[in-house]
Amino acid sequence: MPKRAPILLLICFSVAADAQQVPEWLLRVPGTIETIFIAETETSSFYRFDREDDYRFIPAGQDYMSIGRGGIRKEREGDRKTPLGIYFVTEQLDTTRLHDKYGITAFPLDYPNAWDRHVGRTGDGIWVHGVDPNGGNRPPLDTDGCIALPNERLQALERRFVPNVTPVLISSRLDWAEPGDVEATRVSLEAAVMGWGSALEERDMHAWLDAYDETFRHWGMSKAEWSSFSMQTFARRAISGVSISELLLLGDPAEDGLYLSRFRLEVTEGDARKVVSVRRMYWRRSGSGAFRIVAEDSG
């Protein structure tokens, strides 16, 4: 397997270089993220992309992986399927006390994310992990829903998995696009995110709530119930400033027209008090091109 990796790496580079295209889903990535992984289930390939500049990530490696015995599109607990979507590494686990099938180490992902919960998906425990050192090569469909990499390759990538920072996009196929098309989507989505922040800063609740789709739900409340609650809550807040930084914008690899924004939000209340959080919002793009928030959470 170590001898195979350089050949795959050359293939990966040639695919991108020939067409002068970029991964369709990587719209904007802040400087805090140096590596993004994309798992392509159709080819059992785990791609690594590294930062080249503020908006461009380039192919840096490709490895063989195994996924769930049940295939893809996880919907419920116990279906042994691998989910498709945008996930983040949450921690690194010491696997020395776990079953040998998890290999040298493991990196849990944050399945189910806010969008998964929005559409009623259940289950948990989706990891990127190694393999049994005595078990030989694993077939493409061989886990309980996790992504399994050869131990030597996972060890080589270990420092690239940064908890609560590194995104892992899981898709049936890696889609490429013209840089100009990606840029146009980035500009539109970035404007929607900044418009949300400006409305909050100006305490324009009607404009702020208009950013949310009618299907939006939060804390068990419908859009109407949540809007009423928000109007009462924000009326008591003396917001004097809003800052959005470390903005990450990604297209969802499984849901057409769905996008994720993740950013550091700093809200100043009064003259000094600052409330800092990390927000994640899923935006749906309508046929007219407008973006509306359909799900959100923090972290």
In the chain, where the domains are located? 5-176, 178-298
Label residue 54 by pLDDT band (50, 70, 90). Answer: low
Element (H, E) at 179: helix 179-201
Q: What is the spatial distance between Cα 37 and Cα 48, in angstroms, rounded to a whole number? A: 5
Reported as a single tens digit per residue, the pLDDT across 126-179 is 999 999 998 877 899 999 999 999 999 999 999 999 999 999 999 999 999 999
Q: What is the pLDDT of residue 3?
A: 33
Q: What is the pLDDT of residue 52?
A: 86
In terms of pLDDT, which residue wins out, 273 or 26? 26
- The string of DSSP letters for 238-270 reads -EEEEEEEEEEEEE-SSSTTEEEEEEEEEEEET
Instruction: Answer whether 56's CB lies under 8 Å from 29's CB.
Output: no
Reported as a single tens digit per residue, the pLDDT across 231-285 is 888 767 888 899 999 999 999 999 999 999 999 999 998 777 899 999 999 999 9
Q: What is the spatial distance between Cα 48 and Cα 38, in angstroms, rounded to a whole number? A: 7
CATH architecture, domain 178-298: Roll (3.10)
Q: What is the pLDDT of residue 8?
A: 37
- Joined together, the tokens standing for residue 164 give 């609560």
Would you give the end-to-end CA distance of the chain in angstroms?
36
Instruction: Answer whether 81's CB lies under 8 Å from 73's CB.
Output: yes
3-state SS class at 114: helix
Running DSSP on this structure, what letter comes out for residue 138? Answer: P
Backbone angles phi, psi at 106, to 5 degrees: -150, 145
Reported as a single tens digit per residue, the pLDDT across 201-217 is 998 999 999 999 999 99
Mean pLDDT, rounded, of the chain: 91
Q: Tell me the whole-structure pTM to 2 decimals.
A: 0.91
Beta strands 45-51; 57-64: pairing state: antiparallel
In terms of pLDDT, which residue wins out, 17 or 123? 123
Let me know if the fold of 5-176 is the same as that of 178-298.
no
Running DSSP on this structure, what letter comes out for residue 158? Answer: G
Q: Is the dihedral of CA 286, 289, 291, 295 positive or negative?
A: positive
Q: What is the spatial distance between Cα 120 and Cα 75, in angstroms, rounded to a whole number? A: 8
CATH class of 5-176: mainly beta
Res. 10: pLDDT tops 50? no
The fraction of the chain above a pLDDT of 70, given in percent, is 93
Instruction: Answer whether 19's CB lies under 8 Å from 11's CB.
Output: no
pLDDT (average), residues 57-80: 96
Element (H, E) at 9: helix 5-19
Q: What is the pLDDT of residue 269?
A: 87
Q: What is the pLDDT of residue 194?
A: 97
Element (H, E) at 128: strand 127-129
Label residue 287 by pLDDT band (50, 70, 90). Answer: confident
Element (H, E) at 151: helix 151-157
Q: What is the pLDDT of residue 12?
A: 43
Q: What is the pLDDT of residue 5?
A: 35
Q: What is the pLDDT of residue 200?
A: 92
CA 148, distance to chain mean position in Å, is 19
Instruction: Answer whether 157's CB lies under 8 Å from 48's CB.
Output: yes
